[in-house]
Amino acid sequence: MFEKLFSKKPAHEQTDITKRFTLHGRVGQGSMSRVWKATDLKSGRLVALKVLDKEKTQKFEERFRGLHKPSEGDIAMSLHHPNIVKTWEFGWTTEDEMFLVMEFVEGVGLALLVDLQNDEMKRYRLRYMIQIGEALQHFHQQNWIHRDICPRNVMISDDKSARLIDFGLVVPNTPEFRRPGNRTGTASYMAPELIKRQPTDQRLDIFSYAVTCFEMYTKRFPWDAALTIDAVLQHINKPPVEISTVMPGIDKQIAAAIMRGLKANPDERWQTVGEMVSEFRDAEARLVRLAREAAAARANAASPSVAAAPKPTTPTVPAASAPAAATPGPASQSQPAAASTPATKPANRPPGKISKGKKRSADDDIDLTALFAE
């Protein structure tokens, strides 16, 4: 009786996840969480069940004591974008650990594709780069700083779509969270201002995004891998390797966009991720156009009979009865109908935006690999 009266009651409702979910197996484990593939018996959905490590989460949250930092569950529930994994619910287990009920993505991690550099990676990497950038742009528009953009935190679904999947280090983009001192993130993707304990803002995510793009093309970092503090300091003291020296066949516009994102001085970087993504979109549209033109040229070269098709036979008219004006001259020969139709010019759109309901040029699944020397 007294145990019930004086025992500490939880500050929030708790859920026995072993009864609420059927756990099919572990599908991932990060530094601060564990993830299961599970069936939610309440909704009937197949989900990814993420459970945060209580002690590690509390230690991280202690850095922001008194600042009213939103929880990972609050942050995840606020995000609604096709390239960000959906979060339907969050709560607390009977062990008082936070859990998130998330969309289960069938696919592979981007880190694996970076390592493999297989045909899928070479064919779709520009598409993935644009999708990751669009997801990050949504983050920034919601006034968050991600702080851990890297291939490990991106899934590629079976339908060839990139999804950001982790929000454990996200903080609000407000003055109290931009102050020096919070050096969280993955070392090889850390911006110089973060390493130097300077004030930070959303531009540190642009740096991490540029490192990720560099790696997606080259399977290496712009510097030596940051396994030691000396290697991390290269981000400050040493310029990055030019991506065109590692991959000479890379498109110049794409290469320039990535290298600008790697500038040590944040004022010299892209100031918004939308600007950087716009460069990738423009390059994508141009490369798709070139690929289509090349495909059409190959098709015409393979079908010479089309050019040599016989002309329609004109009925013979006796010379005496035919008026002179009826004699066909070169100018009166019939032309194909399509020749009189002006080419449709694509409508202009503001930089950094895509019209809703319309497919981008690369969504037609054009293979761009032939345009690059690997």
**CATH number of the domain that residue 279 is part of:** 1.10.510.10
CA 270 to chain CA mean position, Å: 17
Predicted local confidence at residue 335, as pLDDT: 38
Q: Where are the alpha helices (DSSP H) in 29-71?
A: 54-62
Please enumerate in sequence order all residues whose Cβ is within 8 A of that of 37, keeping only pairs 6 or more positions apart, or say none: 23, 24, 25, 27, 46, 47, 48, 49, 104
CATH at residue 89: 3.30.200.20
Q: Is residue 176 part of a domain?
A: yes
Domain contains 356:
no
The answer as to whether 293 is a domain residue is no
Expressed in angstroms, the distance from the first to the final Cα of the chain is 74
Cα–Cα distance for residue pair 139/132, rounded to 1 Å: 11
Do 92 and 156 fall within a single domain?
Answer: no
Return the number of other C-beta atoms located less than 10 Å from residue 103's C-beta: 17
Domain presence at residue 373:
no
Cα–Cα distance for residue pair 85/42, rounded to 1 Å: 20
Residues 52 and 19 in one domain: yes
Residues 42 and 163 in one domain: no
- Predicted pLDDT of residue 313: 54
Q: Which domain holds residue 53?
A: 11-103
Radius of gyration of the chain from its Cα atoms, rounded to whole angstroms: 28
**Domain assignment of residue 60, yes or no:** yes
CB 71 within 8 A of CB 167: no
Amino acid 201: pLDDT: 96
168 and 122 in a common domain: yes
pTM of the model: 0.79
Positions of E strands within the chain: 14-15, 21-29, 33-40, 46-52, 87-93, 98-103, 107-109, 144-145, 154-157, 162-164, 171-172
Task: Give the integer Cα–Cα distance in Å for 76 and 24.
Answer: 23
Question: What pLDDT, on the 0 to 100 scale, is given for residue 72?
Answer: 95
Residues 228 and 79 both lie in one domain? no
pLDDT for residue 339: 37
31 plus 58 within the same structural domain: yes
The answer as to whether 4 is a domain residue is no
Q: 31 and 97: one domain?
A: yes
Task: Give me the pLDDT at residue 346, please.
Answer: 43
pLDDT given for residue 165 in this prediction: 94
Considering the domain architecture, whether residues 37 and 121 belong to the same structural domain is answered as: no
In the chain, the number of structural domains is: 2
Q: Residue ranges of the alpha helices (H) in 226-272?
A: 229-237, 243-246, 252-261
Give the integer Cα–Cα distance in Å for 337 and 268. Answer: 52
Whether residues 116 and 262 share a domain: the answer is: yes
Considering the domain architecture, whether residues 96 and 125 belong to the same structural domain is answered as no
Q: Half-sphere exposure (CA, 13 Å, Cβ side) for 243?
A: 27
> Which domain-ending residue is among 103, 125, 145?
103
Same domain, 277 and 183: yes
3 state SS of 178:
helix
Q: Is residue 6 part of a domain?
A: no
Domain final residue pick, 283, 318, 344: 283
- Of 65, 87, 103, the one marking the end of a domain is 103
Residue-by-residue pLDDT tens, the chain, 374 positions: 434 434 444 578 999 999 999 999 999 877 789 999 999 999 999 999 999 999 999 998 888 888 889 999 999 999 999 999 999 999 999 999 999 999 999 999 999 999 999 999 999 999 999 999 999 999 999 999 999 999 999 999 999 999 999 999 999 999 999 998 777 888 889 999 988 889 999 999 999 999 999 999 999 999 876 566 666 777 788 899 999 999 999 999 999 999 999 999 999 999 999 999 999 999 999 999 999 999 999 999 987 655 445 555 555 444 433 333 333 333 333 333 333 334 444 444 454 444 444 444 444 444 555 444 34
- Whether 142 and 40 share a structural domain: no
Please report whether residue 295 resides in a domain: no
